[in-house]
Amino acid sequence: MKTLGVTGGIGMGKSVCAQLLRARGLPVVDTDELAREVVEPGQPALAQVRQFFGADIVGPDGRLRRDELARRVFASPPARQELERILHPPIRQLWRAQVAGRRAEGQRLAVVIIPLLFETHAETELDVTLCLACSPATQRQRLLARGWPAEQIDQRLRAQWPIEKKLAHAHYVLWTDTSVEVHGEQLDRILTLIGLQR
């Protein structure tokens, strides 16, 4: 079985790519989804986050106040690094387990969507990497459409490698300044090139 890691800058189309891959019947592990799982009430990582950031980081319903956490960590690199220290190990453990499950099922391919793929050196555990990219103008337009203020966008962009650095490390690049249809056509060509198209 081959493993394909998909990454890209924030707002550059990873969620759309995941949808397109699933629509093609391919098994996809999305680490953004796993990141939400590991801080569900009762999870050890949530207790560690609460211990470091304070009891008020958890709401009256026992759930993580994600907006407040994001506000704090993107304004403070040391706080973000501590959060990553808490969350990255359980997230990696989960995606490794899911990939192992696909291998046990006899799948030909497992896809893992990892925003910080190169930053966390996950490429050492994957066969092929694909980086999604778009123009800075399109990226900013997409992030503004999420309702994020400009300052928060800049903070989040600084928390990741520049897209040029990600592109230089990836085996393949997919340009997302396009329609979903063209995105899908590019994806099909890449899957064919690397022998992963069904």
Q: Is residue 171, in this structure, part of any structural domain at all?
A: yes
Contact status, residue 134 vs residue 175, Cβ threshold 8 Å: yes
Q: Which domain holds residue 24?
A: 2-193
Q: Is residue 173, in this structure, part of any structural domain at all?
A: yes
User: ∠ CA 182-27-109 to the nearest 5 degrees?
Assistant: 90
3-state secondary structure labels for all residues of 4-46: EEEEECCCCCHHHHHHHHHHCCCCEEEHHHHHHHCCCCCCHHH
pLDDT at site 195: 76
Which residues of the chain register pLDDT less than 50?
A: 198
- 84 by Cβ neighbours in 10 Å (0-12 / 13-18 / 19+) ranks as middle
Q: Is residue 198, in this structure, part of any structural domain at all?
A: no
Q: Is residue 59, in this structure, part of any structural domain at all?
A: yes
How do residues 112-140 score in pLDDT, each as one tens digit?
999 999 999 999 999 999 999 999 999 99
pLDDT at site 198: 46
Contact status, residue 57 vs residue 50, Cβ threshold 8 Å: yes
Q: Is residue 25, in this structure, part of any structural domain at all?
A: yes
pLDDT at site 91: 97
Give the distance from CA 64 to its chain's centroid.
19
Q: Is residue 188, in this structure, part of any structural domain at all?
A: yes
The answer to whether the predicted template modeling score (pTM) of the entire model surpasses 0.75 is yes
CATH number at residue 52: 3.40.50.300
Give the span between the Cα atoms of 149 and 143, in whole angstroms: 9
Q: Is residue 92, in this structure, part of any structural domain at all?
A: yes
Q: How many domains does the chain have?
A: 1
pLDDT at site 196: 58
pLDDT at site 148: 86
Q: Is residue 44, in this structure, part of any structural domain at all?
A: yes
Provide the phi-psi class of 122: left if phi over 0, else alpha when psi is between -120 and 50, else beta: alpha
How do residues 73-87 score in pLDDT, each as one tens digit?
988 999 999 999 999
Q: Please name the amino acid found at residue 192.
A: T
